[in-house]
Structure 1
Amino acid sequence: MELNIKQLNQKIQPLGMGCWAIGGTWGPKDLPLGWSKVDDQESIKALKHAYERGITLFDTAATYGYGHSEEVLGEALHDVRNKILIATKFGCPCDDVKREGRGESVERESIIKECHDSLRRLRTDYIDIYQLHIQSVEINQIDDVVETLEILRERGDIRSYGWSTDFPKKAKAILKYPACSTIQFDLNIFANNEEMIQLIDDHQVMGLNRQPLAMGLLSGKYDINSKLPNDDIRSGTLDWMIYFNKGVPNSRLLSKIEAIREIITSGGRTMVQGALAWNWARSEYMVPIPGFKNIKQVEDNISALDFGPLTKKQVEEVNNIIKE
């Protein structure tokens, strides 16, 4: 399996590594936005292992750890920079010295400064895919945003761009531009965004899949007695947090997992590999970007490539169970 990214004239494996978790603990004390504590050296080893196993796409964002995720990624892979694709995001400027956020902004000066800050942290002189990170931007603002992105592209600071959004109408607004290479959106067994999948297929661009493992719920390692640490985002009270409730797994979804376990673990797959196989079965343009904190998680993700997608019949069976 390989995906050709026309805008970048490059082929990649249909799997990337999502670098949110390696940003560590961040966000307000009463609203954690990270995934609890991390070991930077372990993160670096995991990133290097992913590259050695053939992964070339790494997705991060300026705001993950207020720049820390980008710094770790830059430290790990700067020596193979010309052999990988880096996707990062803008729209949530931050101060990487004070480790604090600066709200949201898509003003031209702010975007350009964010880009240059990301280049510094990533230890590179160009970004392959520069993605708008905020969904609150209105469609009538996109032309101005893209005008700034085209300035950065002409300067050689970025090669292409995209939007991290779950709204098809907003995605269409940026997909009309030839240098738009990707749309990033939630897609997993519990979040079957069929309209967005169709849009990606129609435009034949890369669909980066956020949360392909439903924030870890589809890993199969949690049960009703699990309780996550307070500094984990899944212990927060964000409106969109449906997979966990104050650090406890969603019991209704846990029961659904048990009902589909036999199907998605067919052929010797792990739960993780079965969940990723479901994404690949949805479209040839889907590129899930599961998170990780260590080599073992990276290896479990990558080994899913050995099995490939689920069959059409298996997908239908899974979808029918989830709908019940």
Structure 2
Amino acid sequence: MVFSKLRPLGRSGIAASAVGLGCWAIGGHFILDGRPDGWGDVDDAQSIRAIELALDLGGTLFDTADAYGTGHSETVLGTALKRRRADAVIATKFGFTYDAAARALLATDVSPSYVDWACTQSLQRLGTDYIDLYQIHVGDLPDDAADAAGEALERLVDQGRIRAWGWSTDDAAKAARMLKFPHFSAVQQELSVFRDGPEMLELCAAENLASLNRSPLAMGMLTGKFSNASQLPGSDVRAAGHSWVRFFKDGKPLPELVARVEAIREVLTTGSRTPAQGALGWILARSPHTMPIPGFKSEAQVRDNLGALDFGPLAPDTMAEIDRLLAGFDPL
């Protein structure tokens, strides 16, 4: 079967590159729960060059959020896409309130009035009059709050301010509740060689939803560049002490994960792939609905990640060999 470098964004009628770009890192420094939640220092000019390169290489899907740098990621993305908006599919997210001056996230809000306000702010920062995919960023919501947000998002579609919407959540049952809304088209789930999500993938297959995949490289572990001696600076989210960062502890990669990467490195790099391209190929093979969105801070990372489009999904026997090699490790 010939691999298409484009995949449908669920039932939205929008098509985008099968591998996208996650724009968390280019947001720069910001704070969550009193701890750094960015990925260290950034160079905005370099970020813009990387986005322009991505478009040249066929990468059209860009996933950002108003939380990333409390708006800075959206501003940088909007600047880079200023002359090429029609070439890009912009996905952004809302739901975390913030103090932009302090670069700090404060709380969560998905009320209808906040949805309307947050959309207006994102449109201004992105320099566009429409968002292709607008996503709820808060992963767990009471049913009544989720329904109210869904109704508000449908109104934004009616107004032409967004084309479709989705939810960043790993709870398949909660995502399934949103199918009653006609423009609910995508979920954003964590998915990688180290973190499968079969229930959500089954929902996407049954209901024609796109699965955008965050942490597709396990926060960088699957690039193969870390060793037991690696140490990240305190300004990096992976060293900040957040309880939900599972692949690193105090800025050091977990030794058992370094061992896992080494166990599968040769298989991931089959066909002259890099480790990152192999890990993204695993996701592409996992389901025809997947769309991994690896992060980037440089042109070299964009070239590496989007190179996965040239190789396509891993072969079934390669997928089976990875399962076999990882079977001896304790589950995460």
Q: Residue type of the partner of 1:196?
A: M
Within-5 A mapping of 1:225-240:
225-240=229-244
Distance 2:305 2:311 in 1: 11
1:116 to 106, 109, 120: 120
Alignment partner of 1:96 is 2:100: yes
Instruction: Tell me the distance in 2 between the aligned counterparts of 1:213 and 1:147.
Output: 34
1:311 corresponds in structure 2 to 315
Structure-2 separation of matches of 1:7 and 1:126: 18
Give the Cα–Cα distance (whole angstroms) in 2 for the partners of residues 22 and 322 of structure 1. Answer: 32
Report the aligned-residue RMSD: 1.4
**Post-superposition offset of 1:29:** 8.6
Native 8 Å contact 2:54 2:303 kept in 1: yes
Task: Give the TM-score, by structure 1 length.
Answer: 0.97
Check the 8 A contact 2:32/2:106 in 1, yes or no: no
8 Å contact from structure 1 (residues 163, 174) kept in 2: no
140-149 vs 28-37, which moves further: 28-37
Alignment counterpart, residue 165 of structure 1, candidates 169, 172, 192: 169
Instruction: Give the match for residue 285 of structure 2.
Output: 281
Partners in 1 of 2:251 and 2:106 — Cα distance?
Answer: 27
* 1:180-219 correspondence to structure 2 within 5 Å: 180-219=184-223
**Residue of structure 1 in register with 2:246 after alignment:** 242
Between the aligned partners of 2:198 and 2:111, the Cα distance in structure 1 is 32
Correspondence list, 1:1-324, <5 A = 1=4, 2-5=6-9, 7-27=11-31, 30-324=34-328
Q: Which runs of 5+ in 2 are unaligned?
A: none
Q: Alpha-carbon deviation of 1:6? A: 5.5
CA contact (8 A) 1:93 1:110 kept: no
Residue 38 of structure 1 aligns to which amino acid in structure 2? V
Q: Report sequence identity in percent.
A: 43
Corresponding letter in the other structure for 2:115: I
After superposition, what is the alpha-carbon deviation per residue over 1:49-77, rounded to whole angstroms, capped at 9, x for unaligned? Answer: 00111111100000000000000000100
- Aligned pairs, how many? 324
Q: After alignment, is 281-290 or 94-103 more displaced?
A: 94-103
Take 1:144 and 1:201, find their aligned partners in 2: how far apart are those partners?
A: 26
Cα offset, 1:158, TM superposition = 0.9
Q: Deviations over 1:120-166 (max 9, x none)?
A: 11011111100000013123322211111111111111111000001
Report SS of the residue matched to 1:242.
Answer: coil
